[in-house]
Amino acid sequence: MMVFDSESNLDRFLRCTTPIVPAYSLPKTQIKNLNPLWYPLESQSVEYFRLGDFWDCFDEWSAYGAGVPIVSETGETLVQYYVPYLSAIQIFTSHSVINTLREETESGDSGSESCSEEWRWEGCSSSEEGFDHQEPLDRLGYSYLQYFERCTPYSRVPLMDKIKELGERYVGLRSLRSVDLSPASWMAVAWSAFSSFSCFRKQS
């Protein structure tokens, strides 16, 4: 892996762990259906990505780790491997998308989490209340999925394993597009380093 002298270790980490997904152009006939609070009506073109493609970027990293070259103070390059873990995610979308996904989601396996919980936006813990008592917040959108990990880092499963588990109940986790999401949507990923997989090489 090439190391650029002008880069800091943080720059290298971000370069090696930033997902790169294919972009698609939304048909003009569909632009008018977008929430005008999220996308201006005068938009002539809108690009989007698919959540399924986004999660696929983490597949190999979850299995083998992402190799990041880190330059030490002595000039040696440590290739450190990091594995991603899902810490939290909140997805807000439009009412029409919620209605489309409702039946598929409610027909999934409800299951239970031993260390984790899905939470309501109001803060009340509930594992299966994602669609109850939703308030029409035009700017934020409607809550579709809220998940907060409570396990310690060493007790968690890799990110893709957790996404597959959640995807069994929330099919939109893979089928939704970025244009379906409210700007209030977000996620947090914890990257854990595994020094046992590191190797050193002298920087030339």
**pLDDT value for 72:** 84
Q: Is residue 4 part of a domain?
A: no
Domain range for 39 is 9-202
pTM equals: 0.76
Please check whether residue 152 lies inside any domain of the structure: yes
- 10 Å CB burial of residue 30 (0-12, 13-18, 19+) is exposed
Residue 92 burial by Cβ neighbours in a 10 Å radius (0-12, 13-18, 19+): buried
Residue 2 within any structural domain of the chain: no
- Whether 158 is covered by a domain: the verdict is yes
Amino acid in position 10 = L
pLDDT string in tens for the chain (204-residue length): 455 567 899 999 999 999 999 999 999 888 888 888 887 767 788 899 999 999 999 999 999 999 999 988 888 888 999 999 999 999 999 888 888 887 665 655 443 333 444 433 333 332 333 444 344 456 788 899 999 998 887 888 999 999 999 999 899 999 999 999 999 999 999 999 875 444 444 444
Asked if the structure places residue 15 within a domain, the reply is yes
Give me the pLDDT at residue 117, please: 40
Tokens of 143: 């809550």
With a CB cutoff of 8 Å and minimum separation 6, the contacts of 39 are 31, 46, 179
Contact yes or no for 149/113 (Cβ under 8 A): no
Three-class DSSP category at 67: strand
| Cα distance between residue 157 and residue 99, in whole Å | 31
The number of distinct structural domains making up the chain is 1
